[in-house]
Amino acid sequence: MLNFDEQRFLRIQSGAVAFASHFDQVIGECIKAGADNVFFLGTGGAAILMQPAAQLLQRRSRFPVFIDMPAELVVTGSANLTSRSIVVMPSLSGTTKESVAMLAKLKEIGATVITLVGHEKTPLGQGGTHAFVNFAEDDTSCESFYMQSLLIALSIMKHNGELADHQRMVDEFFMLPALLLDVKRCFEPSAAAIAENIAAADYHIVTGAGNAWPQAFYYGMCILEEMQWIRTRPVHASDFFHGTLELVEPGVSVLLFKGEDHLRPLADRVEDFAKRYTDKLTVIDTAGLALPGVSADVRQLLSPVLLATVLERVSAHLEVLRDHPLTTRRYYKRVAY
């Protein structure tokens, strides 16, 4: 595979799922002690990666869940954020300005803070009530954060009496690092072709539904915009027909990410429309990616993980085609803002 270290990938993703029993212990202790809600408080891309876990709890659990922006919450506060709250705070660098400021507020409130970071000797790597450090970098962080947050959500459901077969599902997560590597290998030829399609246009509508939507949002904002300086219009498939459809015409690129949860028909609707009005429709469908031994109910949770793992391959080809390294920035962490 192009510019890819297989052993590094396996090490990082194995590190992410290795936290499963520790997550479960911490969550169990919190709920037993009277925790009455959970907040997912990330900033930027890390915040987007928490959305599938938050959505899972919103739709399948009675345990109250909130997802908010630290930059706003540190100013406004929340009536629901108390000493009985569990707060999940991801930050790859461990130094994200808005999250560090939020951490100080959380300590004043007395909430239990679970930090998910890539670097230990940082404010978030050392400042959480429970700090989970799994080294990762931009090209490996999506899968790591997705899996960690989903494991936390599953533990909450277990300890809230809503998930009888928790251990079976966790056991299947332990299969994922090797399976995801196989997915990457198989997808490599498709990744090269998709990268050529993306490189051929300077504007893309990026869309998806359900738990595939966060990866569509993330890929448009954090990869194509931030790392490739390509203009995008991320739009949820539910909103596609309330404005964005009018921008579709021959030559306009539409990137559609399809997952396997119950919201898949919303993506089908976009696909049916777009293929009639543009010749630049690109569809990435997780249903065509093999995960032998993984149950259907777990697969439904993993659509964003699968999308992240194949899109990393697309990005690797894209940076070469465009002669634009993914690490190149003009402003991000380079100028004051």
pLDDT value for 89:
98
- Determine the pLDDT at residue 53: 98
Confidence (pLDDT) at 325 = 97
Model pLDDT, residue 226:
97
Sequence-ordered list of residues with C-beta below 8 angstroms from that of 218, at least 6 positions apart, any chain:
45, 48, 49, 142, 308
Residues 33, 216: Cα–Cα separation, whole Å: 37
Taking the C-alpha atoms of residue 227 and residue 198, their distance in angstroms, rounded to an integer, is 13
- Rounded CA-CA distance 82/75 in Å is 15
- What is the set of domains in the chain, with CATH numbers? 6-173 (3.40.50.10490), 188-321 (3.40.50.10490)
Q: Per residue in 162-173, is it b (16+ CB within 10 Å) or e — as a string?
A: ebeebeebbebb
Distance from C-alpha of 180 to C-alpha of 309, rounded to nearest angstrom: 7
* pLDDT value of residue 277: 98
pLDDT of residue 337: 87
* 295 CB-near residues (< 8 Å, 6+ apart): 168, 169, 172
Tell me how far CA of residue 328 lies from CA of 9, 206, 265, 324, 325, in angstroms: 22, 22, 37, 7, 6
User: What's the length of the chain?
Assistant: 337
Closest CA to 58 of 165, 157, 148, 170: 157
Instruction: Report the side by side order of strands in the sheet with 203-208.
Output: 231-236, 203-208, 253-258, 280-285
Render 306-328 in DSSP notation, one character per residue: HHHHHHHHHHHHHHHHTT--TT-
User: How large is the angle between the packed helices 141-159 and 303-321, nearest 10 degrees?
Assistant: 170
Residue 246 CA from chain centroid, whole number: 29
Residue 2: closest CA among 336, 219, 312: 312
Residues 6 or more apart whose Cβ sits within 8 Å of residue 299: 260, 291
Torsion of CA 91, 176, 64, 27, to 10 degrees: -80
**pLDDT < 70: residue spans in the chain:** none
- Convert the pLDDT of each residue in 310-337 to its tens digit: 999 999 999 999 999 999 999 998 998 8
User: What Cα–Cα distance (Å) separates residue 76 from each residue in 68, 73, 117?
Assistant: 11, 5, 25
- φ, ψ of residue 171 to 5 degrees: the values are -60, -35
Yes or no: say if 240 and 268 are a contact pair by the CB < 8 Å rule: no
Instruction: Please choose, from the candidates 237, 233, 236, 231, the residue with its C-alpha nearest in 3D space to the C-alpha of residue 201.
Output: 231
**In what helix (H) or strand (E) does residue 99 lie, and over which residues does it extend?**
helix 97-109
In angstroms, the CA 84 to CA 95 distance is 25
What pLDDT sits at residue 73? 97
Beta partners for residue 132, in sequence order:
116
Query: Can you give the pLDDT at residue 144?
Result: 98
Show Cβ contacts of residue 68 under 8 Å, excluding neighbours closer than 6 positions.
39, 40, 41, 78
pLDDT attached to residue 220? 98
Q: What is the pLDDT of residue 200?
A: 97
Model confidence, pTM: 0.97
